[in-house]
């Protein structure tokens, strides 16, 4: 590919120092057994008497829900459990949960699970606080105007960073779209990142959610909204994930590697709060909404193709990323290192047994199906505008054509 044009680079430099807001609104606890140590204290300090627990069937069968219930029970804290959250949570499920929250006079939400349980919890909090239907508040429609119930987020996957973001991603199955609801009112007030709660994760979910975190870190590092504040989170998360994700995937017993990966996923959440995302996410959301591909897998598969497209915008940054994946690239010049970025990420995916295309879906994608996906991707206003390289419809179609075969 051609080198970056002077004009594109000037644009990046200009944006590098653009305004950002750095309020870290989430009180973060990290470490083994941090839930055990802090959860009851916080609930009691705030004087809440009835808690709504938002979780999913996998968390019930893994024994994690029981572990948390015991902690609450030991402190005589009463709970209403909603454990029906599905992957890529649906608007109807949010509305069902909201009705139960109100009927049971709950006062605080514990979000226990991966991004799906946490985003569902944010959806419930939004509607309890503001009324109406959750999709009324999707980006571009109404904004949340009122304070919402407090959320304590306890992530059990190693990916989304939702525990520290003001964003909820909710699927509308009728429109076959994933919509973003974003407001400081739904950012969790507390996050408890306890690596011991990830020990029951199957290896393939360590891989897919860990790659989701890596995509957050890389997209936020290279986006046109990146700034020195966000970059410090992004680059640290990239280093920690590249070093520890393969070990954590292969060896579930390696506590240090798992702790590094879990913390990195939270850092990557902070990173994209302030540095935004790009067209990996724009292209992956339609793959989940239309074809049910898990979020982390969709991101991981698309990542190398978008890196190939984006690398011309900032040779130094893409070279730096490539060298983190493959330190031997320090011996080649910047341009050559940047040129390898897609290849080294393909290799990294292969170590995690992540497919290199979506051919495993065994779907015969027609031109009109690809055009629909591309239009949805370009309509993703929360991510598409922040990609470092502007992409036309034809260019998005071309990325899909490569990744769908
Ligand atoms: P997930 O929450 O859908 O969970 C995937 C599966 O893993 C579920 O079956 C769950 O039961 C199981 N699981 C979770 N933790 C487990 C554990 N410790 N042991 C055993 N099983 C466990 O997956 P995810 O990737 O964390 O979340 C994806 C969702 O998050 C998507 O809807 C995506 O759009 C959203 N997301 C949100 C943000 C945000 O900032 N709000 C960011 C990225 C992604």
Q: Report the distance separating Cα 390 and Cα 405, nearest Å.
A: 24
Tell whether ligand 1 has an atom less than 6 A from the beta carbon of residue 220: no
Q: Residue 12 domain-assigned?
A: no
Instruction: Check pLDDT > 50 for residue 3.
Output: no
- In the three-class reduction of DSSP (H, G, I as helix; E, B as strand; rest coil), residue 174 is classed as coil
Q: Which two tokens stand for residue 62?
A: 């893994």
Same domain, 348 and 317: yes
Contact 200 CB / ligand 1 (< 6 Å):
yes
Mutate to test the pocket of ligand 1, among 84, 187, 195, 295 (most ligand atoms within 8 A of CB): 295
Taking the C-alpha atoms of residue 169 and residue 88, their distance in angstroms, rounded to an integer, is 8
Q: Which CATH number covers residue 37?
A: 3.40.50.1970
Q: Which protein residue has the closest C-alpha to ligand 1 atom 2?
A: 114
Q: Do 362 and 377 have their domain in common?
A: yes
* 398, part of any domain: yes
Indicate whether 10 pLDDT > 80: no
- Position 14 scores a pLDDT of 47
Answer yes or no: do 323 and 395 share one domain: yes
Q: How many domains does the chain have?
A: 2
Plot region of 282 (φ>0 → left; ψ -120 to 50 → alpha; else → beta):
alpha
In this prediction, residue 141 carries a pLDDT of: 94
- Give yes or no: residues 118 and 236 share one domain: no
Q: Which residues contact 158 (CB under 8 A, 6 or more apart)?
A: 198, 201, 206, 209, 210, 213, 248, 258, 261, 262, 264, 265
**Which of 56, 82, 116, when mutated, tests ligand 1's pocket best, judged by the most ligand atoms within 8 Å of its CB?**
116
Structural domain includes residue 151: yes
* Cα–Cα distance, 88 to 85 (Å, whole number): 9
**CA-closest candidate to residue 378, choices 364, 359, 394:** 394
pLDDT bucket at 123, cuts 50 / 70 / 90: very high
Asked if 282 contacts 397 with a C-beta cutoff of 8 angstroms, the reply is no
Helix then strand then coil, in percent of the chain rounded to 5, is 60, 10, 30
Please tell me if the CB atom of residue 198 comes closer than 6 angstroms to any atom of ligand 1: yes
pLDDT over threshold 90, residue 49: no
Q: What is the DSSP string of 301-331?
A: HHHHHHHHHHGGG-HHHHHHHHHHH-GGGGG
What is the distance between the alpha carbons of residues 242 and 383, in angstroms, rounded to a whole number?
23
Ligand 1 atom showing the smallest separation from residue 59 Cα: 11
Q: How confident is the model at residue 23, as a pLDDT?
A: 63
Query: Is residue 240 domain-resident?
Result: yes
Distance 98 CA to ligand 1 centre (A): 20
Rounded Cα–Cα distance for residues 182 and 338 (Å):
34
The mean pLDDT value of the chain amounts to 94
User: 157: CA distance to ligand 1 center in Å?
Assistant: 6
Ligand 1 contact via 126 beta carbon (within 6 Å): no
* 268 token code pair: 């990557």
Q: Supply 175's token pair.
A: 């429109």
Res 16 pLDDT > 60: no
Instruction: Classify residue 46: in a domain, yes or no.
Output: yes
The predicted structure's pLDDT at residue 214: 98
Distance 113 CA to ligand 1 centre (A): 7
Q: Report which protein residue has its CA nearest ligand 1's atom 40.
A: 162
Cα-to-centroid distance, 306 and ligand 1 (Å)? 23
pLDDT tens digit sequence for 339-359? 999 999 999 999 999 999 999
What's the pLDDT at 96? 98
Asked whether residue 2 carries a pLDDT value surpassing 60, the answer given is: no
Quick check: CB of 167 below 6 Å from ligand 1? yes
The answer on pLDDT for 20 being more than 70 is no
Residue 220 sits in the same domain as residue 245: yes
Q: How far is the CA of 300 from the centre of ligand 1 (A)?
A: 15
Centroid of ligand 1 to alpha carbon of 115 (angstroms):
4
Same domain, residue pair 191 and 215: no
**Comparing C-alpha atoms, which of 62, 16, 307, 290 is closest to residue 175?**
290
What percentage of residues in the chain have a pLDDT greater than 70? 94
Say yes or no: CB of residue 114 within 6 Å of ligand 1.
Answer: yes
Nearest to 342 by CA among 366, 306, 298: 306
Same-domain check for residues 193 and 249 = no
Residue 24 confidence (pLDDT) above 90: no
Distance (Å) from CA 15 to ligand 1 centroid: 32
Alpha helices in 104-182 (DSSP H): 115-130
The Cβ of residue 24 has, within 10 Å, a number of other Cβ atoms equal to: 11
pLDDT digits (tens, 9 = 90+) for 210-250: 999 999 999 999 999 999 999 999 999 999 999 999 999 99
Residue 159's domain comprises 27-198
Is the distance from the beta carbon of residue 244 to the nearest atom of ligand 1 less than 6 Å?
A: no
Asked if 182 and 217 sit in the same domain, the reply is no
Closest approach atom of ligand 1 to CA 272: 40
Q: What is the DSSP letter of 193?
A: E
For every residue of 232-292, DSSP letters joined together read: HHHHHHHHHHHHHHHHHHH-TT-HHHHHHHHHHHHHHHHHHHHH---HHHHHHHHHHHHH-
Dihedral angle over CA of 372, 373, 374, 376, nearest 10: 90
Rg (CA), the chain: 20
Q: Residue 399: which of 324, 309, 310, 337 has the closest Cα? A: 309
Q: Is residue 35 very low, low, confident or very high in pLDDT (cuts 50, 70, 90)?
A: very high
Q: Report pLDDT for 19.
A: 65
Asked whether residue 356 is domain-assigned, the answer is yes
């Amino acid at each position: 590919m051609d080198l970056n044009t002077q004009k594109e680079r000037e644009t990046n430099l200009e944006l590098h120092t653009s305004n950002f807001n750095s309020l870290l609104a989430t009180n973060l606890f990290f470490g083994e057994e941090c839930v055990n140590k802090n959860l009851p204290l916080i609930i009691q300090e705030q004087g809440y008497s009835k808690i709504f627990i938002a979780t999913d069937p996998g968390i019930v069968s893994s024994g994690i829900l029981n572990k948390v219930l015991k902690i609450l029970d030991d402190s005589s804290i009463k709970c209403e459990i909603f454990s029906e959250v599905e992957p890529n949570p649906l608007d109807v499920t949010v509305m069902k949960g909201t009705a139960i929250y109100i009927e049971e006079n709950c006062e605080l939400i514990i979000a226990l699970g991966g991004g799906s349980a946490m985003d569902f919890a944010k959806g419930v909090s939004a509607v309890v606080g503001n009324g109406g239907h959750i999709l009324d508040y999707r980006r571009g429609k109404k904004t949340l105007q009122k304070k919402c119930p407090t959320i304590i987020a306890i992530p059990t996957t190693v990916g989304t960073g939702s525990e520290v973001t003001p964003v909820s991603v909710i699927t509308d199955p009728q429109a076959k779209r994933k919509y973003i609801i974003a407001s400081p009112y739904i950012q969790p007030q507390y996050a408890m990142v306890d690596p011991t709660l990830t020990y029951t994760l199957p290896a393939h979910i360590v891989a897919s959610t860990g790659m989701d975190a890596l995509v957050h870190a890389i997209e936020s590092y290279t986006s046109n909204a990146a700034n020195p504040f966000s970059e410090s989170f992004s680059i640290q998360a990239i280093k920690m994930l590249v070093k520890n994700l393969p070990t954590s995937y292969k060896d579930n017993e390696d506590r240090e590697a798992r702790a590094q990966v879990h913390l990195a996923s939270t850092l990557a959440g902070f990173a994209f709060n302030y540095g935004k995302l790009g067209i990996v996410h724009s292209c992956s959301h339609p793959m989940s909404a239309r074809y049910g591909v898990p979020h982390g897998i969709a991101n991981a598969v698309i990542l190398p193709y978008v890196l190939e497209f984006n690398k011309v915008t900032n040779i130094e940054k893409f070279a730096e990323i490539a060298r983190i994946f493959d330190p031997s690239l320090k011996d080649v010049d910047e341009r050559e290192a940047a040129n390898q970025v897609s290849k080294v990420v393909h290799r990294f995916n292969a170590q995690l047994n992540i497919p290199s295309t979506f051919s495993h879906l065994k779907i015969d994608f027609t031109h009109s199906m690809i055009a629909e996906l591309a239009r949805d991707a370009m309509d993703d206003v929360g991510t598409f505008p922040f990609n470092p390289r502007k992409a036309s419809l034809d260019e998005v179609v071309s990325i899909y054509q490569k990744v769908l075969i």
